[in-house]
């Protein structure tokens, strides 16, 4: 016994239009470009719209020992070592960072010494 099934399937050659996600990404980039670092001060936390997650946040502000801090420590070690620790306690000798508390995006960074 032979079963002959002649299935005449019509060719469904319909092409669905593919939506491109690149448009959305381009919009995000333009928002980041619009963000100006002049909004930032380095005295403490700042309230702004995070360019990373586009939420209104108060930045997480932190000071850290930067290149200038350690350069001053080394200079003081050579010149007058009992005071070598002083730059580590002076905020104006340190680098400052603004971080978004929600998405951890580094919104602004002030480096006193940059290579």
Site track 92-111 with Zn ion (rule: CB under 5 A), x = hit: --------x-xx-x------
Q: How far is the CB of 55 from Zn ion (least distance, A)?
A: 6
User: What span, in angstroms and rounded, lies between the C-alpha atoms of 59 and 50?
Assistant: 8
Report which of 34, 65, 53, 33 is spatially closest to residue 99, judged by C-alpha positions. Answer: 53
Window 55 to 74, contacts with Zn ion (CB under 5 A): none
Query: How many Å apart are CA 84 and CA 97, to the nearest integer?
Result: 24
3-22: which residues touch Zn ion (CB under 5 A)? none
- Least distance in angstroms from the C-beta of 66 to Zn ion: 23
Asked if residue 60 lies in contact with residue 99, where contact means CB atoms within 8 angstroms, the answer is yes
Q: Is 51 in the site for Zn ion (CB under 5 A)?
A: no
Shortest Å distance, C-beta 99 to Zn ion: 9
In terms of CB distance, is 40 or 93 closer to Zn ion?
40
Q: Please, where are the H alpha helices in 1-115?
A: 22-34, 67-80
């Amino acid at each position: 016994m032979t079963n002959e099934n002649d299935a005449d399937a019509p060719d469904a050659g319909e092409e669905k239009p593919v939506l491109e996600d690149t448009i959305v990404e381009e919009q995000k980039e333009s928002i980041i470009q619009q963000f100006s670092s002049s909004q930032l001060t380095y005295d403490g936390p700042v309230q702004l719209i995070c360019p990373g997650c586009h939420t209104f946040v108060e930045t997480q502000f932190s000071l850290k020992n930067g290149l200038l801090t350690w350069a001053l420590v080394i200079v003081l070690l050579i010149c007058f070592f009992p005071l070598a620790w002083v730059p580590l306690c002076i905020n104006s000798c340190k680098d400052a960072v603004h971080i978004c508390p929600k998405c951890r995006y580094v919104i602004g960074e002030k480096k006193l010494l940059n290579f």
